[in-house]
Amino acid sequence: MSHQESSVISEKVTRVDGPSKVRGEARYAGDQKVDGQMHAVPVLATIPAGELESIDAKQALALADGIVVLTARDMPRLHPDLDNITVPPLATRHIPMQDNLILYEGQVVALVLAPSLALATEAAKLVKPIYRTHSYINPEHQVPQSADPARGNYSGSGPLDWTKGTPDAAYASAPHKVKSIYTQPSRHANAMEPSAIVAHWHDGQLTVWDSMQHISSVQITLAAVFGLSIEDVRVIAPHTGGGFGVKAFVWPHEILAAMASKVCGKAVKFVLTRQHMYNMVGYQPQMTQHMALACDEKGQLAAIRQDVENVTSLTDDYVEFGSAAARSFYACDNISISQRVKRGNINLPTFMRAPWDGPGSWALGSALDELAHEAGIDPLDMRIRNHADTEPQTGEPWSSKMLLECYEEGARRFGWRTRPEGGTRDGYWLRGFGMADCSQGQARFQSSAGLTLTAEGTAHVASSFCDMGTGPATIFRQVAAEALGLPLSAVTSDHGQTGLPAAGPTYGQSTTISTGNAVLMAAREIKAKLAAHLQWPVAETVMEDGCIRRNNERLSIKDAMKLMGMQEIASESTFALPGGAYVDMGAPGRPARSFGALFVEVLVDPDLGLVRLRRATGVYSAGRILNPLTARSQITGGIIWGWGMATMEGSHLDPERGRWISRDLAGVPIPVNADIPADLDISFVEEFDHEAGPLGARGIGELAATGVAAAVGNAIFDATGARLHDLPITPDKILGALRLV
């Protein structure tokens, strides 16, 4: 069946796991229970730099029977096999409780185990670490430095420095130019389910129930930590309650839980609190972006320069590649980018929705708007004139790109060409209009999926992918149902555990394009096997309505299988990448990105500095849309996420003590229903990306969160005449800027 004849794909199908979640039947990692398990609560360093001299655990141990206090001397040493594990999937090579060195506030210095969580929590309060302090290095105050490949957490992410043409000379001679600095604070993800793990050893084998975004990463890392074979580690993740990147890699708490279980001989449950999530897993780092753009009289870009700095830890160089935007968004003959890090005594940053292009689109999308106003050109026209028909860095053609269609449709739906003048009053509110580009690079990971067709006309999908609530379990059933000509109700699936065909990670908006293509390939193999048994040419064979048909010959699947004397046909397929690569950012010779255009209207109270989102229109080019319902849900969440980034969220370090000032949602405002219009206008252009894979789809999960901050900032400028360069754009900043206008 061709994609034009789709009957199951492209239908608005509700998520198959929805009912179990609504009824409270879904079991997450923290819900798992093993008989006799111990609860783990960490004792965290209260200093950002120093050494642990001793630990006094007498009061904790005297609290009740059954309490265990583990320190560095109790924990197993890391096996040398761990040296062969790359970063990622291991988040950091610095694993606490292997020595007494303290490198950041909140580092685990001891682990308290008890039969109940309440008892472990109370006992942890009684443990008294004694420290020798070292001088604190505040990363935000350091001079930016080149990242060190030996400490790198950025392999394959892009160049640290890259130049095309002569950007400095082109900038100097251009008639219109802007130079600005854009900043954003660190931001922490607050997923519905905090990170959690239950670790259990039995007969030398390790089983973990873990909240993560990639089954295989946990399996191979934990095997290496203990020098085990891969087969001796079983990982189970039936549900993952959101991740946003912080569950993408293996963090120390997962290793510590498995070590603690091995030491005490019982299962150990380690569930991070909201406060722990600020210290024990990663976050999006504080960033400073130096932007310099220039254009000619017609608005054609003459030069782009994007120099990006981000904070990182003393243990690893995490690089947030905001410069990906300058290398990818607009056509320009003269481009220069650089990436630098500022190291200090903080816990390690990591990917967070949307990495790279999320921060990069904030700075570049805002600076381009500045340049458009400097040149007297409509911001939309500026983007149309600088549309990148090919990938700017390499000159290679895109796998598919319909951004111009997004501009046209978005402008029509929003009424961009007939919008009122910026700063028009609506009562006491100032109205403003802004727009920006949305784009995210498309990652593809090698992924496998198994599919079984039975004589009863049912099918079963099996793959180890993780479902964070975004709907892949639903979409993959749709893919199998359409390819095999079955009703969706006839398809079931298993996922989220080792022992199933290995899927790639659930991040980088890669799950659908990677594992989904493997499911489709397996279905096509089953069709080919059926045709071969029936001695029908595959090209003439169609599967539909529970039957297999060739011209006027038609058999139900049940009759066809009976004729062949078979009860089931199974296939396992792998969506492989060029040259056996693990990850690929496009198709062979074809860079791949998802694109979009976002238009927003905001209201600004000039007396109070309050800003409100009145409406938003987003149109996206992301290949074939497999399920419009889940796709719209992803975009909706991304726009809300971006509004929080633009106007509310930020995590700030105490400059003296090196600790996060607010460590839960009590001190970090996030968007709620009242902040978002009831009906966001979201649509997709009709597109089939043949180069990205047989499904014709690209990703949208990360795409949705890009461009929002720039569009909002541009609209606030349109409303007030004040250009804000520092996120989040809060009332105090608006009022301060208005005083200068």
Domains 3-26+444-584 and 32-135+192-242+247-278 share a fold: yes
pLDDT tens for 458-484 read: 999 999 999 998 999 999 999 999 999
Express each pLDDT in 322-353 by its tens digit.
Answer: 999 999 999 999 999 999 999 999 999 999 99
Specify the pLDDT at position 589: 63
- The reported pLDDT for the residue numbered 212 is 96
The amino acid at residue 663 is R
Is 689 a residue whose pLDDT tops 90?
Answer: yes
For the residues 543-567, what does the mean pLDDT come to?
Answer: 94
662 phi and psi angles, rounded to 5 deg: -115, 130
pLDDT tens profile 597-614: 999 999 999 999 999 999
Residue 329 has, within 13 A of its CA and on its CB side, a CA count of: 34
pLDDT at 27 over 70: yes
Query: What percentage of the chain exceeds 90 in pLDDT?
Result: 92
The CATH number of 32-135+192-242+247-278, from 3.40.50.2300, 3.40.50.300, 3.10.310.10, 3.30.365.10, is 3.30.365.10
CATH top class, domain 348-441+587-738: alpha beta
The arithmetic mean of pLDDT across residues 663-672, rounded, is: 89
Higher pLDDT, 422 or 219: 219
Q: What is the pLDDT of residues 87-100, one digit of tens each?
A: 889 999 999 999 99
pLDDT in tens, 36-45: 999 999 999 9
Residue range 3-26+444-584, CATH number:
3.30.365.10
pLDDT at 584: 66
Q: What is the pLDDT of residues 287-325, one digit of tens each?
A: 999 999 999 999 999 999 999 999 999 999 999 999 999
Could you tell me the residue ranges of all domains in the chain? 3-26+444-584, 32-135+192-242+247-278, 348-441+587-738
Poorest-pLDDT segment among 3-17, 52-66, 693-707: 3-17
Which residues, at least 6 apart from 666, have a Cβ–Cβ distance to it below 8 Å? none
For the chain, first and last CA: distance in Å? 60
Q: Per the structure block, which two tokens stand in for 10?
A: 């492209």
In angstroms, the CA 643 to CA 170 distance is: 35
Mean pLDDT of the chain: 95
Q: Given the structure tokens 């498309």, which residue do they identify?
A: 442
Please tell me the distance from the alpha carbon of residue 225 to that of residue 101, in angstroms, as a whole number: 20
Would you call 578 helix, strand, or coil by DSSP?
helix
The pLDDT-based confidence of 581 (bands split at 50, 70, 90) is low
The whole-number average pLDDT for the span 427-436 is 97
Residues with Cβ < 8 Å from 507, sequence gap 6 or more? 213, 214, 243, 245, 248, 351, 443
pLDDT for the residue numbered 665: 85
> What string of H, E and C letters represents the secondary structure of 482-507?
HHHCCCHHHEEEECCECCCCCCCCCC
Looking at residue 522, what is its pLDDT? Answer: 98
The whole-number average pLDDT for the span 540-558 is 95
Alpha-carbon dihedral 620, 626, 627, 630, rounded to 10 degrees = -60
| pLDDT exceeds cutoff 70 at 24 | yes
What is the pLDDT, as a whole number, of residue 1?
A: 37
User: Strand, helix or coil at 526?
Assistant: helix
Contact 214, 446 (CB under 8 A): no
User: Is the model's pLDDT at 577 over the cut of 80?
Assistant: no
Is there a contact between 502 and 495 (Cβ–Cβ < 8 Å)?
no
Confidence at residue 624, expressed as pLDDT on a 0 to 100 scale: 97
Q: Is 80 exceeded by the pLDDT of residue 716? A: yes
Amino acid at residue number 120:
A
Burial 504-517 (b: 16+ CB within 10 A, else e): bbbbbbbbbbbbbb
pLDDT score of 532 more than 90: yes
pLDDT at 2: 39
Q: Is the pTM of this model over 0.85?
A: yes
The pLDDT tens digits for 405-424 are 999 999 999 999 999 999 99
Q: How high is the pLDDT of residue 4?
A: 37
| Position 632 pLDDT exceeds 50 | yes
Residue 741 pLDDT grade (very low, low, confident, very high; cuts 50, 70, 90): confident
Question: How far is the C-alpha of 197 from the C-alpha of 267, rounded, in Å?
Answer: 10
